[in-house]
Amino acid sequence: MLTEQEIINNALKEMLYLEELTAQKYADVAQQITKPELQNLIKGMEMVARNNYKSLTQKMNENQIS
């Protein structure tokens, strides 16, 4: 049985993985879009996902989660 800390660690790792996956999907879509205003919107969404990834990484480092 997993401890509460292990459950939290696993959840944070999963969140980190999903944010990276989301950012990559947005980046791929942005390359395929030809309308600049839509491309900028998608790039903004990619940046949000990358910022979330960075924040999660910082929190994990602070709590010594690898």
Within-domain flag for 2: no
**Residue 9 covered by a domain:** no
Is residue 40 a part of any domain in this protein?
yes
Q: What is the pLDDT of residues 2-40, one digit of tens each?
A: 899 899 899 999 999 999 999 999 999 999 999 999 999
Any domain includes 50: yes
- Compute the distance between CA of residue 23 and CA of residue 9 in angstroms, rounded to an integer: 21
With respect to residue 11, please indicate whether it lies within any of the assigned structural domains.
Answer: no
**Confidence at residue 65, expressed as pLDDT on a 0 to 100 scale:** 83
Summarize the confidence of residues 38-63 as an average pLDDT: 95
Distance between CA 38 and CA 32 in Å, rounded? Answer: 11
Range of the domain at 44: 16-27+34-66
Whether residue 22 is contained in a domain is answered as: yes
Residue 5 corresponds to which tokens in the numbers above? Answer: 């800390």
What domain count does the chain have? Answer: 1
Question: Considering the entire predicted model, what is its pTM?
Answer: 0.86
